[in-house]
Structure 1
Amino acid sequence: MLHRILLLVRKTYICLLNNSTYLMNLKAPISILIIFFMFASCVTNKELTYFGEKEGDEALIQQSIKLNEKPYRVQIGDLLSISIKSTDAKLVAMFQPVAAENAAALQSEQSLYYNGFTVTKHGNIEIPILGKLNVLGYTLDEIEESINKKLLEEYFNKAEDLFIVVKLAGLRFTVTGEVSSTGIYTLYQDRVNIIEALASAGDITTVGNRKDVLIIRQYPQGQKIHHIDLTSVDALSSPYYYIQPNDMVYVKPLKQKSLGTGTTLVQSITTVVTVLSLVTSVLVLSRNL
């Protein structure tokens, strides 16, 4: 690649020498053109760096970590996986959406969709035998405690070993825009931050705008668009650093992509030299006509 660039530069230089008088008046415009392309087309290191730190940011990072330690609270449309276990297997089977022998089938995403518990628009889930339970705005631990209390009061003896686990049945989200692989992803984790979400999609491309990543989030009243600057350490304290179920992450393109001049210095030099060679050739041909 470098060899080809040098050849182009050499040819352009020879052409300029042979037509120096004619092209003398074009020096200033050509110089301006070169400078414009060099500065406008290259993607800087700052634009590619996540969480760029400044002096004194260490305390801010520690504070940001504490702010984001808040547990997730269940929203409308969430899909919950609820596991109830006890020494009385027959009694437990009454509260399961599928038979105990088919429990292994619950591990697939499709089975979780059909056998999980979806939070309705009224904020409820419906558990066999127990009936409706309001979970909107509650943490997973609080839902576990609520189910445990209701089962002990109505069906199980306190002496029996009752164990309940409530989890999100996979955190599903969409990543699109300037990433390596757009698509819908599901991560089986309690919490997923935006960097993990982008990593699932192969990370942001070189021409992706890390300064203004959009998060489209679902709310009872509709969708809202939020912005986060991933080049700043302030992103760690953003309420949108951790994504939520059904979030859509959109990465906008940088202006360098629309210019089409290349994203690295080598690519930009190649483009400038090519354009300059073309302009020179056209001017020389027009002079000889």
Structure 2
Amino acid sequence: MRLLSKYGLTLGLFVVVLMMFSSCGSRKNMVYFQQDSTKISSLYEQHVPHIQPSDILTIVVTAADPKVTVPFNPGSSMGPGTMTQQMDLALRPTYTVDDDGNVVLPMLGKVHIGGLTRIQAIEKIRNELSQYIKDPGVNINFNNFRVSVLGEVARPGSFVMPTERVTVLDALGMAGDLTIRGVRENVMLIREVDGQKTMHRLDLTQQNTLNSPYYYLAQNDVIYVEPNKSQINNSKLGANTNVIISIASLLITVISVLTR
């Protein structure tokens, strides 16, 4: 029995040491945007999201005289002093971009804004309104700027962003950041462009990623963080844990009987 205990203790220590080494990671694989000679030149203006079919937009028309905007803002006829902020947000008119890139606005009818940035769409609608309102103002916001983060992150899921200026880091931050088991050198970004899905790889350990055209996200982007080899191996071990325990128990029982 002493021999059995000795071998059992040795085996246990070996397993613990093996697990410690398998879970270790180097700084090179863990630290984001490690310093190098890369010159950061990425500008948000070069990668502004464009309005796409099925986007849901809030479009509000303003003017010096609020009364003249009533026909262009259906549902918002209440005076600004008679409603709460929540009521104001709920009553703001929303419009869905159709498959041809159009929205149908009161008085103006169909206005084609598909493929435009938010700022470009504002200018186009302002020009259309100028025939009815002197110096009109237009405010456009995305209501469905959603990104999904999956894989080795703390809180995977889909997130609606309050603004269209969203980076990969913003999305990962919403998901609680990568776990220690996530592969930072090979983060996948899935994007749909003109009905076609494309896949792109980002290395978050390299500063050059800040210059990537995919550092800034578009609506409906999906980010996937794959598990490292240690996590994959652990999952394989976990799936066979019951079998391993059963076999080990049987062997210990047989050895105990034979050594009596």
TM range (shorter): 0.7 to 0.9
| 1:168–1:190 Cα contact (<8 Å) kept | yes
State which of 35, 58, 80 in structure 1 corresponds to 2:57: 80
Give the corresponding residue for 1:15: 6
Give the whole-Å Cα distance in 1 for the aligned partners of 2:89 and 2:221.
23
- Cα distance, 1:249 vs structure 2: 1.5
1:52 aligns with 2:28: no
- Cα distance, 1:169 vs structure 2: 2.7
State which of 103, 127, 130 in structure 1 corresponds to 2:105: 127
Secondary structure at the residue paired with 2:123?
helix
Give the corresponding residue for 1:107: 89
1:215 aligns with 2:193: no
Q: Alpha carbon RMSD of aligned pairs, Å?
A: 3.6
- Cα distance, 1:103 vs structure 2: 8.5
- Cα distance, 1:200 vs structure 2: 0.5
- Cα distance, 1:35 vs structure 2: 9.0
Give the corresponding residue for 1:227: 201
Question: Per chain length, whose mean CA-contact separation is higher, i.e. which structure has more relative contact order (CA < 8 Å, sep 6+)?
Answer: 1
Secondary structure at the residue paired with 2:171?
helix
**For residues 42-85 of structure 1, what are the alpha-carbon distances to aligned partners after superposition, in whole Å with 9 as ceiling and x for unaligned?**
2322222111222x22x2xx22x33x432332222222222211
> Kindly tell me: are residues 97 and 225 of structure 1, through their superposed partners in 2, closer, same or farther at Cα, counting changes over 3 Å?
farther
| 2:49–2:219 Cα contact (<8 Å) kept | no
- Cα distance, 1:94 vs structure 2: 0.8
State how many pairs are aligned: 238
State which of 125, 142, 152 in structure 2 corresponds to 1:178: 152
Matched to 1:91, the amino acid is V
- Cα distance, 1:36 vs structure 2: 7.2
Structure 1 stretches lacking a partner, 5+ long: 1-10, 17-22, 24-29, 262-277
State which of 113, 120, 132 in structure 2 corresponds to 1:142: 120
Hey, which of these two has a bigger chunk of helix by percent? 1
Structure 2 stretches lacking a partner, 5+ long: 236-247
Give the corresponding residue for 2:24: 42
Give the corresponding residue for 1:242: 216
> Kindly tell me: are residues 187 and 169 of structure 1, through their superposed partners in 2, closer, same or farther at Cα, counting changes over 3 Å?
same
> Kindly tell me: are residues 94 and 257 of structure 1, through their superposed partners in 2, closer, same or farther at Cα, counting changes over 3 Å?
same
Give the whole-Å Cα distance in 2 for the aligned partners of 1:219 and 1:129.
32
Give the whole-Å Cα distance in 1 for the aligned partners of 2:168 and 2:88.
27
- Cα distance, 1:287 vs structure 2: 8.6
- Cα distance, 1:193 vs structure 2: 0.1
Per mean C-alpha deviation after superposition, the further-off stretch among 96-105 and 183-192 is: 96-105
Per mean C-alpha deviation after superposition, the further-off stretch among 96-105 and 247-256 is: 96-105
Give the corresponding residue for 1:98: 75
> Kindly tell me: are residues 140 and 103 of structure 1, through their superposed partners in 2, closer, same or farther at Cα, counting changes over 3 Å?
farther
Q: TM-score, normalised by structure 1?
A: 0.69
Give the corresponding residue for 1:264: none
Secondary structure at the residue paired with 2:226?
strand
Give the whole-Å Cα distance in 1 for the aligned partners of 2:89 and 2:257.
72
| 1:212–1:252 Cα contact (<8 Å) kept | yes
Give the whole-Å Cα distance in 2 for the aligned partners of 1:220 and 1:163.
31
Percent of pairs identical after alignment? 28
- Cα distance, 1:190 vs structure 2: 3.0
Give the corresponding residue for 1:8: none
Give the whole-Å Cα distance in 2 for the aligned partners of 1:192 and 1:100.
33
Give the whole-Å Cα distance in 2 for the aligned partners of 1:47 and 1:100.
57
**For residues 160-210 of structure 1, what are the alpha-carbon distances to aligned partners after superposition, in whole Å with 9 as ceiling and x for unaligned?**
442222232352111121111122211212300010101001111111121
| 1:42–1:256 Cα contact (<8 Å) kept | no
> Kindly tell me: are residues 135 and 226 of structure 1, through their superposed partners in 2, closer, same or farther at Cα, counting changes over 3 Å?
same
